Structure 1
Amino acid sequence: MNESLKAMADAATAAIAYRDAVAGAAHTPVADYATIRAAFAAPTPEEGGDPQEIIAELIERASPGIRAQTGPRFFGWVIGNSHPTGVAADWLASAWGQNAANTLAAPSASAIEDIAAGWLLDLLGLPGDASVGFVTGATVANFVCLAAARSAVLEKVGWDVEADGLFGAPPITVLIGADAHATVYSGLKYLGLGAKRVQTVESDSLGRILPDAFQRALNDATGPVIAIAQAGQINTGVCDPFAEIAPMARAAGAWLHVDGAFGLWAQAAPDRAPLTAGVELADSWATDGHKWLQTPYDSGFAIVRDSAAHARAMAISASYLPPAEGAERDPSTFVPELSRRARGFATWAMIRQLGRAGIADMVEHHCRIAAHMAQRLDAETGITLVAPVSLNQFMVRFGDGADADRLTLATIKRVQDDAIAFLGGAQWRGDWVMRCSVSSVATTMAAADTSVDAIIAAWRWVEQEMTCPVT
């Protein structure tokens, strides 16, 4: 075995040891950015080095700054566990070095991606003939879906945006809920549709689009229309009323896109599917694999009902690229990259690992954990649950009155400093909250209770230090 292959083996051994240890760690303190940067700061290397020494150096210096995102008590954002089965498949994707550009270059990567795409549509209850682009995550998935939407609505009015661009094109009206996620605005910005040119549709107290307001916005719109809804509001977890607004969009000739980064997976859990009722009536959907499917990062899915519009917006052609033959699905037709990793391997492996029943049980389990944690915290004096738990998200505030923001931020910092659990902050309706996302397959009810205990202890410390008068 040459030195480079020995370095691969060393990396695998260290990775397995890390994952084994992080699952049972009582505390997971992390060095800050400045400390890690200082550890790596050095002049540009003039000569090459020994592969095993390089990997050993990377492990030694980086390990103190690795956040325990795969641990059982990470609730900071809606991210999954990077399940070991998916990681193993992803390692193979890297080792095999497959550029999943076309069926000739990568037969296995292309075929497995096609199979996994069909499984995804089945699990999510979406049209079986929809096209699926395997992208980096929901941010790019939203971008790809909105590119297909732009192509389709302009084609209906006789404009070829792929050939002629947006100069002189009929203006597109974009309708978006008042509590949409920031990544949707990024997609609009990338596409030249403008992050500020949107028409905001009023939402309710939990962040759901109000159907009457949506209908009024459609009535007032002129020309091509793209409407954007969401499955899973990032703070409350609620889903827009798709069964009501999708027929409205269809009747108005508008394209309805759904940002379903995590909430779309409610479709895979029969007990939670009523929350997303009617979502299958939309025209496109964006979701993540590295959230509730637990794949490693660099995994998202752009799903489009009109596969022709999807292909128009994304396909890359050149004389040196082999065309797909017959019914073959060319994987690069539905994504913005020509050179990319073979993302289908990890997706296929995780669906095989969990199966339909396992995915449904996991989603339901996480929702029960979220409700349990929220109930326990809300029962404590000085801690307030901000909104009912709908899915796997909830928010709490600490203290009351004018000091609540200060006390909430201080409690978040204390929890992070204690490093028993990780949670973060957000602003909701102008107030600071602690936000909790339950989405890791590693999280158990026992881990949740340990985390709640740590949050309560942090709050009691803050309450004692910051609210008691000095004597």
Structure 2
Amino acid sequence: MPATTDQPALDRAHALVLTWLASLEERGVPPTASVAEVVARLGAELPDGSTSPEDVITHLAAACEPGLTAMPSGRFFGFVIGGTHPAALAADWLVSAWDQNCGLRAITPAHSAVEEVAEAWLLDLLDLPPESAVGFVTGGTMANFTCLAAGRDEVLRRAGWDASIQGLVGSPGVRVLVGAERHDTVDLALRYLGLGLPEAVPADAQGRIDPAALRAALEQSDNRPVMVVLQAGNVHSGAFDPFNEAIEVARAYGAWVHVDGAFGLFAGASPTRRHLVEGVEAADSWATDAHKTLNVPYDCGLAIVRDRAALRAAVGMHGDYLIHDAAGEPFDKVPEISRRGRAFTVWAVLRALGRDGVAELVDRFCDHAAEMARGIAEIDGAEVLNDVAFTQVCASFGSDDETRAVVEGMLADGTAWMTGSRWHDRAVLRVSVSNWSTSEADVARSLAALRTVAAGRGR
């Protein structure tokens, strides 16, 4: 098929993308069609004949548009997922068009070069050890998985057990200690790794691990190798574990220390917020999501491991049919061989914003969250439940039923998306600020809608 036949479909897709982006300012955030309704619009039967690519794109967009949530909108405050910065979006179009399988240096020198540069920029920006390796994985879950795989195998290796050869059956096992309010994906990654449920260490009212309780737990040694998982950014409060104290305690017991920093690790990029992650550089590994605070498209987590050899031993592989480079391969740092060019979008955002721009982005998120908290606190009967030190706000509007009514009312109103959750045995409305495009006007408009909905709660 000649390349020129791509043109109509690409032109149509480009026009539809611009129309979608232009609609975000005024459209409601929630979708207006159900799964079943979108299926009906798509058509459930696979046709016998072919359809032109241009017509396929036209049909796909028309069928799906009512079922789309305006996640790129500046008024989407759910799940800490960010938006997509224009430079990253444009770079992602190139990624798909270039169609590079980015596992090998010799085959994809362009991506390997961009990955090297982006890796160095990230480590410098976050003030992490420059010798560390950065693996570009699918998201936060796999970033945690990759880092914890390196930690699991390394602490077992120190105990005289090679998990890569001997597996886990018959091994000394690994003891994993986590804060009581760690994110659920930490437990999921540990389950994938065959390590089972971790031991929960008490946390304070904001979800920060208690170093004294961590020490007490570690003193109850059963002679297994140990990993300790800390947190940069509690999903409800936004709080950060006390890294200096907790890492010092963990080090005294020979533990591998991993930090789940899905959205909070980028506090290190801001001079005014860097104190939140003071001491985090002393850990062994760090996980974050570039599609959260850094605002690249989905499918881009970052697994950062200080010991490159430990990471390669845990997730690397060898194949005689592959073209190996003495400098090492991109797939030595991730669980996948076939993968898209994730580093292109990360490089694009970092290059577009620069060091000062990333710091300003983080600060703006925090400032908007603080303004949200102030506005919510002024609503009759509302209570902000967390210390708003970063990008998260949790609020109650009275009883659990009243709070749930506000959550449901906001979704029905459609002006902004704010999710419900449960924290400290209370129903809460949770606001997560992580979109580059959120403006002061978006915050004011969302608070106005919240005031209106809250005034009618329980009715």
TM bin (shorter chain)? over 0.9
* Contact in 1 for aligned 2:136/2:301 (Cα 8 Å): yes
For 1:462, what is the secondary structure of its paired residue? Answer: coil
Report deviation, 1:431: 1.0
Cα distance in 2 for residues equivalent to 1:29 and 1:206:
30
Paired AA for residue 203 in structure 1: A
How many Å apart are 1:429 and its aligned residue? 1.1
- After TM superposition, which residue ranges in structure 1, 4 or more long, deviate above 6 angstroms? none
Larger mean CA deviation between 41-50 and 274-283 belongs to 41-50
Distance (Å, rounded) in 2 between the aligned partners of 1:258 and 1:247: 14
> Does residue 385 in structure 1 map to residue 384 in structure 2?
yes
Check if 1:288 corresponds to 2:283: no
Please identify, of 421-430 and 216-225, the stretch whose mean Cα deviation from structure 2 is larger: 216-225
Does the 8 Å CA contact 1:3/1:52 hold for their aligned counterparts?
Answer: no
1:363 aligned to 2:362? yes
One-letter code of the match for 2:12?
D
1:35-114 alignment runs, 5 A limit: 35-114=37-116
**Map of 2:201 onto structure 1:** 201
Amino acid at match of 2:299: D
SS in structure 1 opposite 2:396? strand
**What is aligned with 2:232?**
231
Task: Give the equivalent residue in structure 2 for 1:468.
Answer: none
Report deviation, 1:26: 5.2
Q: Distance in 1 between matches of 2:40 and 2:178?
A: 43
Q: Is the 8 A contact 2:182 2:234 kept in 1?
A: yes
SS in 1 for 2:456: helix
Amino acid in structure 2 at the alignment position of 1:257: H
Q: Spell out, residue by residue over 1:160-213, the C-alpha distance to the aligned partner (whole angstroms, 9 max, x if none).
A: 10111101111111101100001111100110001x2x2110100110000100
For residues 6 and 364 of structure 2, what CA distance do their matches in structure 1 show? 42
Structure 1, unmatched stretches of 5+, are: 466-471
Question: What TM-score do you get using the length of structure 2 for normalisation?
Answer: 0.97
Structure 2 CA distance for aligned equivalents of residues 38 and 433 of structure 1: 35
Let me know the Cα RMSD of the aligned residues. Answer: 1.2
Instruction: Indicate the SS of the match to 2:436.
Output: coil
- In 1, distance between residues paired with 2:328 and 2:69? 38
Match of 1:302 in 2: 303
Cα deviation 1:203-232 (Å, max 9, x = unaligned): 001100001001111111322001101000
Decide which moves more: 299-308 or 454-463.
454-463
Assess, with a 3 A threshold, how the Cα gap between structure 1 residues 407 and 266 changes in structure 2: closer, same or farther: same
Partner of 2:404: 409
1:156 aligns with one of 139, 154, 158: 158
1:410·1:462 contact (CA, 8 Å) conserved in 2? yes
- Select the residue among 182, 185, 188 that pairs with 2:184: 182
TM-score by length of 1: 0.95
Which secondary structure state, in structure 2, belongs to the residue aligned with residue 35 of structure 1? helix
- Note if 1:461 corresponds to 2:456: yes
Partner of 1:271: 272
Work out the number of aligned pairs and report it.
Answer: 455
Q: Aligned equivalents of 1:434 and 1:32: distance in 2? A: 24
Q: Which residue of 2 aligns with 1:428?
A: 423
1:316 alignment partner in structure 2: 317
Q: Give me the whole-angstrom Cα distance separating, in 2, the residues matched to 1:28 and 1:283.
A: 40
CA drift of 1:329 comes to: 4.3
Distance 1:367 1:241 in 2: 19
Q: Which residues of structure 2 form unaligned runs of 5+?
A: none
Do the aligned residues in 1 keep the contact of 2:407 with 2:418 (CA within 8 Å)? Answer: yes
Conserved? CA contact 1:114–1:329, under 8 Å? no
Within the candidate set 15, 20, 23, 2:22 is matched to: 20
- State the partner residue of 1:254: 255
Counterpart of 1:448? 443
Aligned to 1:331: 330
The answer (yes or no) to whether the contact 1:134–1:343 under 8 Å persists in 2 is yes
Contact 1:3 1:50 in 2 (8 A): no
Match of 1:10 in 2: 12
| SS of equivalent residue, structure 1 residue 200 | strand
Q: Identify the residue that residue 135 of structure 1 maps to in structure 2.
A: 137
2:390 counterpart SS class:
coil
